[in-house]
Chains A and B, each alone.
Chain A
Amino acid sequence: MDAHSQALGGAARSSANEWLGRRLPWLKAALFLVCLLPLARAAWLLAAGEPTNPIEFITRSTGTWTLVMLLATLAVSPLRRATGWGQLLRLRRLLGLFAFFYASLHFTTYFWLDQFFDWAAIARDIVKRPFVTLGFAAFCLMLPLALTSTDAAMRRLKRRWGQLHALVYPLAVLAVLHYAWLVKKDLSQPLAYGAVLFVLLAERALRRWLASRRA
């Protein structure tokens, strides 16, 4: 690439980024609606009486979308680095909060519809069943992240905010293990999500390693 086309590429990149910045409120609103689509679809299917085992359906649907939102959240930074569109970062909080939203629905389905507030049975499950232990641990790690997602918390915590939010990495690993541990035999789905997570984490590790070599 010669200097001229590089400059052109840079210009296109920054103008795209500026466009993103100008349209940010609209983009956020659109993304918000997109993130609600899985819920709308599930509600639609339930209202139509489609799922034979509705509670299993809700559990699986909300669990799946928690994981998807979580991975989407983790994909924002690599995508930003790849495109140079810094404005993308401003969509990340929305995705993260939707991950928490679907996780809350997922957990509520479990203790309300599945276990019907049988707290003794729930406590037993959390202690005895590794897949529930892992899911519960992942959910617990989400709580401080959701609570400190505001601008005010970000300002107050300063550097520690970044350290705290690095919890998202172990959390995501726990979530994938939770899935892998619960399937009866066919690991293809959890492996697919695991592979995406692996790429997202490997990109970060690789970048750190390269940075440390340069330093």
Chain B
Amino acid sequence: MLIRHPDEIAPSEITPRELYLDRRRFLALGAAGALLSADALAALTARKSVYSTAEKANSLKDITGYNNFYEFGTDKADPAAYAGAFRPRPWTVTVDGEVMRPRTFSLDELMKLAPLEERVYRLRCVEGWSMVIPWIGFPLSALLKQVQPTSRGKYVAFETVMRPNEMPGQRSRVLAWPYREGLRIDEAMHPLAILAVGLYGDVLPNQNGAPIRLVVPWKYGFKSIKSIVRIRLVEKPPATSWNLATPNEYGFYSNVNPAVDHPRWSQARERRIGEFFKRDTLPFNGYGSQVAQLYRGMDLKANF
């Protein structure tokens, strides 16, 4: 049941449900939902956000069928094929390190930290394709404020769950598991950085990083770590998975930057999924007016 308040618009109103969910899929989602707890069962209600783009969102089929989530395999069809056995509930996230009040949060507690918002964001993959995705989530800053970072908490380190039994990709050593990512504290506190718990009006599908993931829209997609179980405030830049794997190709910052090519391919343009022609890639993925000041005075070629 959706209970609407005047200022709350269910994301499902923006694209009519039947347009992005075919009937069979809808029934399947319903059946899966019946296994979850009561509040997960409810379609998520979220308010609109000024941070959303007006661009047309990709279909749920595109967003849930074409994923890089190496924990489920390296092919982009693998996550949709193999994420079915993953159990996103019950779930907790431990936040500790350089903080005044370390704490473990249940998923329900996390979802009540701040009002859920729909954030329609562009996502630019480092491979040269992009999508527009209607996430539902809340600012990462809302969580960090709860634990009160100390002055030594200069960076935020994230870790994905380690479950080789449910995540077949973790049984092979393509990356050093568990997946790790990191942000500088000012990046993490930026209002555009969110923890997403849903998309298109529902809880996150497993292949999109259920039950909770980071979304930092001005950075390449791999920075937006999925299925987070641990967040640690640290003093030094934390190790990150892709940087560990190939340091000359994936830097700590990994801001979307058309002027800095990947060593093996160009980043000047991108193919928006669903479009025929490539389009120009924008600095900071088009979020420069909001985030460029975070990097003032920095050499973005050296700090790629």
Identify the A interface with B (CB < 8 A).
52-53, 55-56, 114, 116, 121, 124-125, 129-131, 181-182, 184-186
Contact = CB atoms under 8 A, between A and B. Distances in A.
Interface stretch (B189-197, B200-208, B265-273): B265-273
Given A182-B264, A185-B246, A52 B277 contact: no
A130 B246 contact: no
24 contacts: A52-B65, A52-B66, A52-B76, A53-B129, A55-B276, A56-B129, A56-B271, A114-B278, A116-B277, A116-B278, A121-B266, A124-B266, A125-B266, A129-B264, A129-B265, A129-B266, A181-B264, A184-B74, A185-B74, A185-B174, A185-B175, A185-B245, A186-B70, A186-B74
B73 to A, nearest CB: 9
A56 B76 CA distance: 11
Contacts of B265: 129, 131
A184 B127 contact: yes
A13 to B, nearest CB: 42
B72 to A, nearest CB: 13
Contacts of A131: 264-265
A113 to B, nearest CB: 8
A53 B271 contact: yes
Interface in B235-265: 245-246, 264-265
Interface string B270-291: 0101001110000000000000
B108 interface: no
B8 interface: no
A1 to B, nearest CB: 45
A130 B66 contact: no
A52 B278 CA distance: 15
A186 to B, nearest CB: 4
Contact of B273 (A52, A130, A185, A186): A52
Contact of B62 (A52, A129, A130, A184): A52
